[in-house]
Amino acid sequence: MTLAEILSSVFPRGHAVTVADGLVTGQGSLDGKPLHVIGVDGDTPLGVEGALALSAAVLDVVRTGDRAPILVAIDSDSQRMSRRDELLGLNECLAHLAKALLLADRLGHPTIGLIYGHSAAGAFIATALATRVLAALPGANPSVMDLPSVARVTKLPLEKLQEMAKSTPVFAPGLDNMVATGAVHVVLDAEKPLDGQVRELIAALPASDTRDTLGEERGGRPVAREIAERVQRQARGG
Amino acid sequence: MESLTFRHSTTKPAAGTKPMAIIGVVASGNLEVLLERVLPPDSCEIAIETAIGGYGDVWEAVVADFVARAQPGGLRISINDGGARPDTVSLRLAQGARLMEASA
Amino acid sequence: MRIVTDPGSQSWYEASARQRVAGLVDEDSFEEFLGPAERAMSPHLPLFDLPRAFDDGIVVGRAKLDGRPVLVAAQEGRFMGGAFGEIHGGKLVGLLRAAITAKPAAVLILFDTGGVRLQEANAGETAIAETMRAIADARTAGIPVIGLIGGRAGCYGGGGLIAGTCSRLAVSEQGRISVSGPEVIETNKGAEEFDSRDRALVWRTMGGKHRRLTGGADAYCADTVAAFREAAIRLIGTAPAFDLAMLEAEQARLEARVKRFGDCRDATEIWARLGVNDPDAVPAMTDAAFAETVASVTEASHDAR
């Protein structure tokens, strides 16, 4: 689905969401209440300016105090890879965006990620992965690194990696694997209207970070939850 | 990956009372050695996981030499190897045994 | 044989994760969680025919720092580049979640990481997101999270984002903080964009001095365990809150930085605009001279993090 199709499906009565330089901001109305939207469209890499523009939009929402949800719609590249971005502190800007989303969520604005295209690495962490619940549309393609690059770094033949990817979701790119890891909570049905599906997501928000439990149940991250739990248990003892 | 395990009888228990020690790091040309005082004092066991296969004879010789010198009775020694040379292995084993000499 | 050197004078860069922890906290006060004897090792690395580590490259536990209880995590940069795998990440997430009930005086994260471990990429990436959420939760509960950066592997990729989520950061000259590493930029954009073999360029662009001068880190340490200890103790008392006012201040701070330095091609141009008299002399400056320079730069110190 394109962003325009998604927005018409979420906001059948129209919306005030705009895209500039690949950055998505604005709002629409869901059940007569505001639903804010930020995002990245068109496989755009996220650099310092983009991250700060989105964080500004999030903080504007928090300042209204309307406790309305924020939809984070993502079809991005990875972080913008440049000398200038790193010189200007891209790590701070991306972390700031993630912190703004985390704060908004804490202050009563439920954050719902919606990945409908690509996203990778730092851009993925600062946007879609910084939400309370992350949904995906079929055809979305989140990844950390594509298999040919993994083959280069790990010095393993691409054919072997492709074979391994079938049984080992922990390293392979793609939506199914991110679902198995628990990073993506749910895949929406593109054939049905999205407003109802977004409403259901908001109504059934998990109270805490359940991604490691999902990863354990789905088999894509078999031990993370248990490891974190064991550390917490030992920290409680003694 | 190749797994090797060597069991030896020892004439005396390893010195000290420290229950556990770890030395080294798993990196190229390096290894980590975990020592645990969990076996009867007249035996020791050295278990190795190595990324470089086919050097069982070398490991056997290095381990036998270490056991003869250190008499690490009671120790279970576990090694994760990133492809260390025999002299590095001997050094880490000796360093590990020395750490165990401390009192608990 | 007894080691007679003072552990505090040891080089942070050269030390292992375990040596850093031992020298950082009060003597013999460290108690490890999920230590090496529990053999919580990666279930995935054997598929790639790669050796595992008993601690999966991260040491976590509790200790005392200057008499006060702290939780500590230390990454081992020499094992798989200190990268986040499933267990590695799970240990850090567990430690940060434990802080909410344990209520330590601080959580200390000793970064030494290239980012996500590619062999476990999806697990590592997700763990980074979980870590950032757990840090936000800990900070909201009033627990400072202090990052210490000066290891061999630097603080790259998702590690850079986690660092940006911490309350305070201490960095040494060797401590590089960045999202894309030099090799990643060069591979994707060419050597004209970033020549990763130009070490001086790497230090200028992402090294500790640049980060400290521009306010990307809050303390600059000599490369010793003792200096990081002193910085950690000092930073705990100055941790900013995690609230709207702080994030608004950070928004303004970062926007001002991009506006003011957005056209700079090199760090030396930024340092000149910050009022540093002889920017070309910064890389070779002694720690003492650099501390004086930092003191004259108002942008270097702030509560907007």
Average pLDDT of chain B to the nearest whole number: 95
Contacts C162 to A, Cβ<8 Å: 95
Name the residue among C35, C39, C51 with its Cβ closest to that of B82. C51
Can you list the residues of chain C whose pLDDT is less than 70?
Answer: 1-5, 7
Touching, C vs A (3+ Cβ pairs under 8 A): yes
Q: Which of A90, A91, A212 to mutate to test the interface with C (most CBs of C within 10 A)?
A: A91
> What does the buried/exposed string (b/e) look like for C247-277 if buried means 16 or more CB atoms within 10 Å of the residue's CB?
bbebbebbbebbeebeebeebbebbbebebe
Give CA–CA dist C46/B101, Å, rounded: 33
Closest chain C residue to A106 measured between Cα atoms? C137
Contacts C79 to B, Cβ<8 Å: 25-27
Contacts C35 to B, Cβ<8 Å: 20
Classify burial at A226, counting beta carbons within 10 Å of its beta carbon; exposed 0-12, middle 13-18, buried 19 or more.
middle
Give CA–CA dist A4/A17, Å, rounded: 9
Each residue's pLDDT, cut to its tens digit, for chain B (104 residues) gives 999 999 999 999 999 999 999 999 999 999 999 999 999 999 999 999 998 999 999 999 999 999 999 999 999 999 999 999 999 999 999 999 999 998 87
Checking if the pLDDT of A214 tops 90, the result is yes
Give the model's pLDDT for residue A226.
98
Of A29, A18, A105, which Cα lies nearest the Cα of A62? Answer: A105
Looking at per-residue pLDDT, the higher value among A166 and C71 belongs to: C71
In this prediction the ipTM stands at: 0.97
On whether any CB of chain C is under 8 Å from the CB of B36, the answer is yes
With an 8 Å Cβ cutoff, are C52 and B80 in contact? yes
Give CA–CA dist B35/C37, Å, rounded: 9
Give the model's pLDDT for residue A146.
79
**Mean pLDDT on A162-166:** 87
Classify domain C7-242 by CATH architecture: Alpha-Beta Complex (3.90)
Strand order through the sheet with A133-136: A15-20, A23-30, A33-46, A70-79, A111-115, A133-136, A186-187
Contacts B27 to C, Cβ<8 Å: 78-79
Other Cβ atoms less than 10 A from the Cβ of A102: the count is 26
Scan residues 46-105 of C and list those with Cβ closer than 8 Å to B. Answer: 46, 49-54, 76, 78-79
Q: How far is C83 from chain A (nearest CA, A)?
A: 13
Q: How far is A211 from chain C (nearest CA, A)?
A: 8
Give CA–CA dist A81/C180, Å, rounded: 6
Give CA–CA dist C58/C182, Å, rounded: 24
Give CA–CA dist A133/A118, Å, rounded: 18
Name the residue among B34, B36, B49 with its Cβ closest to that of C51. B49
With an 8 Å Cβ cutoff, are B81 and C51 in contact? yes
Q: Which of C20, C48, C54, C80 to mutate to test the interface with B (most CBs of B within 10 A)?
A: C54
Q: How far is C2 from chain A (nearest CA, A)?
A: 31
pLDDT tens track for A75-132: 999 999 999 999 999 999 999 999 999 999 999 999 999 999 999 999 999 999 999 9
pLDDT tens track for A52-87: 999 999 999 999 999 999 999 999 999 999 999 999
On whether any CB of chain C is under 8 Å from the CB of B4, the answer is no
With an 8 Å Cβ cutoff, are C133 and A94 in contact? no
Name the residue among A130, A180, A236 with its Cβ closest to that of C101. A236
HSE-CB for B12 with a 13 A CA cutoff: 7
Q: How far is C262 from chain A (nearest CA, A)?
A: 7
With an 8 Å Cβ cutoff, are A91 and C177 in contact? yes
Length of chain C: 305
Q: Which of A62, A87, A210 to mutate to test the interface with C (most CBs of C within 10 A)?
A: A87
With an 8 Å Cβ cutoff, are C257 and A88 in contact? yes
In sequence order, the 6+-apart residues with CB closer than 8 A to the CB of A237 are none
Q: How far is B11 from chain C (nearest CA, A)?
A: 23
**What subunits touch chain B, counting only 3 or more CB pairs under 8 A?**
C
**Mean pLDDT on A11-35:** 96
Contacts C52 to B, Cβ<8 Å: 26, 49, 80
Contacts C111 to A, Cβ<8 Å: none
Classify domain B2-100 by CATH architecture: 2-Layer Sandwich (3.30)
Give the model's pLDDT for residue A144.
81
Give the model's pLDDT for residue A151.
84
Give the model's pLDDT for residue C1.
44
With an 8 Å Cβ cutoff, are C16 and B25 in contact? yes
With an 8 Å Cβ cutoff, are C54 and B1 in contact? no
With an 8 Å Cβ cutoff, are A52 and C265 in contact? no
Q: Which of B1, B23, B26 to mutate to test the interface with C (most CBs of C within 10 A)?
A: B26
Q: What percentage of chain A has pLDDT greater than the value 90?
A: 86
Q: Where are the domains of chain B?
A: 2-100
Give the model's pLDDT for residue C5.
61
Contacts A89 to C, Cβ<8 Å: 211, 214, 216, 254, 257
Closest chain B residue to C1 measured between Cα atoms? B98
Q: Where are the domains of chain C?
A: 7-242, 247-305
CA C79, C83, C85, C88: dihedral to nearest 10 degrees? 70
Model confidence band, residue A155 (pLDDT cutoffs 50, 70, 90): confident
Give CA–CA dist A109/A36, Å, rounded: 9
Sort residue A34 into left (φ over 0), alpha (ψ -120 to 50) or beta. beta
On whether any CB of chain C is under 8 Å from the CB of B34, the answer is yes
